[in-house]
Amino acid sequence: MFVHGIDKDLSLKLVEMRDAERIFELTDRSRDALKEWLPWLDHTKTVEDTKSFIQSGAENFALGKSLNCAIIYRGELAGIAGFNEINEAKQTAYIGYWLDTQYQGKGIMTRVAKALTDYALLERGLNKVEIRAAVGNRKSRNIPSRLGFTEEGVIRHAEWLYDHFVDHAVYGMLKSEWGSVKSQ
């Protein structure tokens, strides 16, 4: 079982099947807000859909291809974060995240993204971490900016979002840069 303590209030743990009802509850409660920027909400209509996500994530974790974690804030599951993809050939991990609306604005996701970056670069020994976010999603884009990631560019029409394409801003952090950024 993967469990990663961040601070006294916050930790990450590997998503388990027993988390399905809570994850679906958060998804459903925050559906309108999440749907503005995330493309999978129309495919997550039941707890069974959430269980399929968890099963797929467990299979990819076993293969070393991804890591889906529950964000535990003060003992409560508050959202999901992790590596949507771990590409060993490129030595790169791609962070993805979402947080229930009631937990936003507390600095949770910045601390989570920092911990995931630490884990990828320092513990896993990967060379790069990327975070991608829709250009218009300022809240999500502020996270890599706060952590000192470099904005590397924009991928045009990177994702189909229900009825339109959105461009993605790409942020990267290299292992060689992370130590100097952390000490600032």
* pLDDT tens digits, one per residue of 138-177: 999 999 999 999 999 999 999 999 999 999 999 999 999 9
> Is residue 179 predicted with pLDDT exceeding 70?
yes
d(CA 67, CA 45): 23
Q: 171, 145 in Cβ contact below 8 A?
A: yes
pLDDT > 70: percent of the chain: 97
d(CA 121, CA 175): 6
Domain count, the chain: 1
pLDDT for 3 equals 83
- CATH number for the domain spanning 161: value is 3.40.630.30
Tell me the average pLDDT across 101-117: 96
What range defines the domain where residue 159 resides? 3-182
Q: Give pLDDT tens digits for 43-65.
A: 999 999 999 999 999 999 999 99
Specify the DSSP element, H or E, that contains 64: none
